[in-house]
Chain A
Amino acid sequence: MSAKRVFEIRDLQVGFRMFRGNLEVLDRASLFVDPGEKVGLVGETGCGKSITMKATIGILPIPPAYIAGGGIYVDGHNILELRGRELRHVRGLMSLIPQDPGASLNPVFRVGTQLQDAIRYSTAGRGLGRRQLRRKAISILSEVGLPDPERNLANYPIQLSGGMKQRVLIAMALVTNPLLLIADEPTTALDVTIEAQILRLMRAAVDRRNLSILIITHNLGVVREFTDRVYIMYAGQVSEQAPTRTLFEGPLHPYTKGLIESVPKLTGEGIAAGIPGMVPDYMEVSPGCRFAPRCSHAMEVCTEKPVMRMQGTARGVACYLYEAMTEREGTCSS
């Protein structure tokens, strides 16, 4: 069904068994990434974006977590159904660029050792000798713009700055020749001038290799500058999806609108009112639209879960305000 899709999550349901009951976090979340696409997954703290990432790369702590349904397809294979060697092979098609560069490198091993290990245990490093490993490490480090790569191979992570560590981690992610990169808040820990450099580097690397990338972030500005297409997630539900430009020019979902308005603007139009209320407790979420309790447009029907209404393959919104969207063309401009 999804032979051409590099990556697809279909109706994924993830929950946590807690002492006080089950937390149903991901509520049938679906998203996909096509070859060569840069896709963003945006949401605030606790919306389930990191859980999506963890389920995908298989580091979800099960138990207490459990996957109640859905599938995660990488290059057409559902990784939830694979085991052993097959699972390892499919996982090898993905690389993660982690959030906190400070905590993601082992402080007691040299940069070179860690990078060469990453190469050695991937398909890209099969049968390489020590010299070849080293040469490959140096070439990838110079590709990610780390100054003086030969010397830096012998350095410990503590000797590098945050931006340089992030470059090493990007090198580690690229060197295994993945199909898909998953970047989890890759620039959140960095200053803006470093962030701009890292984003430029990631774009260049992805475009050169024609990779697909899913970037998970809370920073709408980063998403607007980096991605082709965006998913907005609220409290475990995907509420809106659109090509990036379309989304920022005309957001549909009340949550997306509130989120974009909340960002302080360089145009200096003052501070927006924000979104009333608070993120729900996953113990007590309503079975319908989870944003409804905070939504100024909430209606009776919102107690039932809205389906994602699509217009074309890329634009969709899960909101009863846009009931007619699939039927009539051009109702898009809210």
Chain B
Amino acid sequence: MLELTDLCKYFPVQGGILRRKVGEVRAVDGVDLRVAKGEILGLVGESGSGKSTLGYTIVGIYDPTRGSITFKGSDLVARRRHDQRAVSKEVQIVFQDPGSSLNPKRTIKQTLELPLKIHRVGASRKERLAILKELMRTVELPEPYLYRSPSALSGGQRQRVAVARSLASRPDFLVLDEPTSALDVSVQAKLTRLLLSLREELDLTYVFITHDLSLMRNVATSVAIMYLGKTCEIAEAEPFFAQPLHPYTQMLLSSIPVVSEEEEKHKPKQVIPSGEIPSPVNIPSGCSFRTRCPSVMDICSVQDPVFREVLPGHHVRCHLYGLEVGAE
């Protein structure tokens, strides 16, 4: 359904009084990714990994610096230039913080009605109101909430409104940018269940951006790990969690504080995390993870490992898997 090929998004770093470009931040750097229909791809990384930038580039908030986005067989970037509206009808996003993504001065009804008007869903006011009521039912909110302002709703309810807004144009593809990370766990569970049932009901495909691997264990059909703008491991969820290959993935998984003894057994052997993510302005040479990697080798600083299929469907970017140097 969605295919990214060598997708890059660089931001210029300006300096001096002439605001000349003195460098660039490689927020997304050569990402190849495939999302099949009905999938939930968990896009996981720490802050600064470029996961949100990648999501924003997919929905068209940013134009890619290089590379292509193919959506349902056609070039999304070119289509967007031609007819932005048609594309945004099909590809929508839910933002992280419902506190700031909803306009506090508008009632929920006004917020939800805007996408209907823009995408010309519903001919008359009456018809639109019927659709709005249906939308509220879909996200399990009481109808009278249509006339409230966001400040009168709780965090979880606001996020439901944000989900309803992105569903208003009846898209079939959603980018979810940390939709539950601003919520308490008991509320997070309820919203996540809603998102899962919506996918079934409305035949949706998700790219689920998050930093929470435990959540992805229960939600994703496949997982992509990002580090400093690059994907370091992509696989279907089952093999991914059964046998995480990249040292960074292992470090992430073993760092998660869990709530039961049973879960400890599902962690890879203890990898003691060290160091912090380097600045994306100044990415290490070779493999960008080498400064924190417990299994670093000489070659890692010289050569960036190739992203290769190590096991069927299991892609890893690491010199540990494929020591045939230069056999690119």
B251–A193 CB distance below 8 A = yes
- Summarize B's interface: helix, strand, loop or mixed: helix
A3 at interface (Cβ–Cβ under 8 A)? Answer: no
B184–A263 CB distance below 8 A = no
B184–A265 CB distance below 8 A = no
Known: A45-B184, A219-B257, A266-B256. A194 touches B276 (CB 8 A): yes
A197–B273 CB distance below 8 A = yes
Known: A193-B273, A220-B259, A271-B196. A265 touches B211 (CB 8 A): no
21 contacts between A and B (CB under 8 A): A45-B184, A191-B47, A197-B273, A221-B259, A224-B258, A249-B261, A261-B189, A264-B192, A264-B214, A264-B217, A265-B262, A265-B263, A266-B267, A267-B217, A268-B266, A271-B189, A271-B193, A272-B189, A273-B190, A274-B187, A278-B156
B185–A259 CB distance below 8 A = yes
Please list the residues of chain A having a beta carbon within 8 angstroms of any beta carbon in chain B.
Answer: 44-45, 161, 163-164, 191-197, 199-200, 218-222, 224-225, 248-249, 258-275, 278-279
Give the distance to chain B from A162, nearest Cβ to Cβ, in Å.
Answer: 8
B276–A268 CB distance below 8 A = no
**A269 closest partner in B (C-beta):** B218
Within 8 A of A (CB), among B102-139: none
A221–B185 CB distance below 8 A = no
Contact residue among A197, A200, A218, A269 (Cβ-Cβ distance under 8 Å from B185): A218
A44–B185 CB distance below 8 A = yes
B257–A222 CB distance below 8 A = yes
Give the distance to chain A from B251, nearest Cβ to Cβ, in Å.
Answer: 6
Known: A193-B251, A248-B260, A275-B186. A267 touches B211 (CB 8 A): no
Within 8 A of A (CB), among B45-84: 46-47
A273–B193 CB distance below 8 A = yes
Complex Cα spacing A222 to B214, Å: 14
Complex Cα spacing A34 to B257, Å: 25
Write out the residue numbers on chain A whose beta carbons fall within 8 Å of the beta carbon of B211: 191-192
Write out the residue numbers on chain A whose beta carbons fall within 8 Å of the beta carbon of B187: 274
B189–A262 CB distance below 8 A = yes
Residues of B in contact, count (CB < 8 Å):
44
Complex Cα spacing A271 to B46, Å: 22
Give the distance to chain B from A225, nearest Cβ to Cβ, in Å.
Answer: 5
Give the distance to chain A from B195, nearest Cβ to Cβ, in Å.
Answer: 9
Complex Cα spacing A18 to B176, Å: 38
Given contacts A45-B184, A192-B46, A265-B260, 11 further A-B contacts (CB under 8 A): A44-B185, A193-B255, A193-B273, A220-B185, A221-B259, A248-B259, A264-B218, A265-B218, A266-B266, A271-B192, A274-B185
B262–A191 CB distance below 8 A = no
Known: A221-B257, A269-B218. A44 touches B186 (CB 8 A): yes
Give the distance to chain B from A190, nearest Cβ to Cβ, in Å.
Answer: 9
Known: A44-B184, A193-B46, A221-B256. A264 touches B251 (CB 8 A): no
Give the distance to chain A from B112, nearest Cβ to Cβ, in Å.
Answer: 21
- The digit string for B240-269, where 1 denotes a CB below 8 A from any CB of A, is 010000000001110111111111001100
B274 at interface (Cβ–Cβ under 8 A)? Answer: yes
Chain B CB count within 10 A is highest, among A222, A249, A264, A268, for A264
Within 8 A of A (CB), among B289-305: 292
Give the distance to chain A from B148, nearest Cβ to Cβ, in Å.
Answer: 14
Contact residue among A196, A219, A266, A274 (Cβ-Cβ distance under 8 Å from B193): A274
B154 at interface (Cβ–Cβ under 8 A)? Answer: yes
Known: A191-B47, A262-B185, A273-B190. A268 touches B218 (CB 8 A): yes
Write out the residue numbers on chain A whose beta carbons fall within 8 Å of the beta carbon of B258: 221, 224, 265-266
Complex Cα spacing A333 to B258, Å: 22
B184–A191 CB distance below 8 A = no
Known: A194-B276, A274-B193, A278-B154. A268 touches B184 (CB 8 A): no
B155 at interface (Cβ–Cβ under 8 A)? Answer: yes
**A199 closest partner in B (C-beta):** B257
A192–B256 CB distance below 8 A = yes
A263–B185 CB distance below 8 A = yes
Contact residue among A200, A221, A268, A278 (Cβ-Cβ distance under 8 Å from B241): A268
Complex Cα spacing A322 to B252, Å: 40
B212 at interface (Cβ–Cβ under 8 A)? Answer: yes
B273–A163 CB distance below 8 A = no
B273–A196 CB distance below 8 A = yes
B217–A266 CB distance below 8 A = yes
Give the distance to chain B from A100, nearest Cβ to Cβ, in Å.
Answer: 14
A270–B185 CB distance below 8 A = no
**A218 closest partner in B (C-beta):** B184
Give the distance to chain A from B211, nearest Cβ to Cβ, in Å.
Answer: 7
B188 at interface (Cβ–Cβ under 8 A)? Answer: yes
Within 8 A of A (CB), among B189-228: 189-190, 192-193, 196, 211-215, 217-219
Complex Cα spacing A269 to B262, Å: 11
B263–A195 CB distance below 8 A = no
The 8 closest A-B pairs by CB, nearest first: A221-B257, A274-B189, A193-B273, A191-B46, A274-B190, A44-B184, A196-B255, A275-B186
Complex Cα spacing A286 to B212, Å: 36
Write out the residue numbers on chain B whose beta carbons fall within 8 Å of the beta carbon of A263: 185, 214, 259
Chain B CB count within 10 A is highest, among A225, A274, A275, for A274
Complex Cα spacing A266 to B188, Å: 16
Write out the residue numbers on chain B whose beta carbons fall within 8 Å of the beta carbon of A45: 155, 184
**B266 closest partner in A (C-beta):** A266
Complex Cα spacing A258 to B273, Å: 31
Write out the residue numbers on chain B whose beta carbons fall within 8 Å of the beta carbon of A261: 189
Complex Cα spacing A192 to B273, Å: 9
Complex Cα spacing A271 to B40, Å: 15
Complex Cα spacing A258 to B292, Å: 37
Write out the residue numbers on chain A whose beta carbons fall within 8 Å of the beta carbon of B184: 44-45, 218
**A46 closest partner in B (C-beta):** B184
B266–A267 CB distance below 8 A = yes
Complex Cα spacing A178 to B190, Å: 42
Write out the residue numbers on chain A whose beta carbons fall within 8 Å of the beta carbon of B259: 220-221, 224, 248, 260, 263, 265
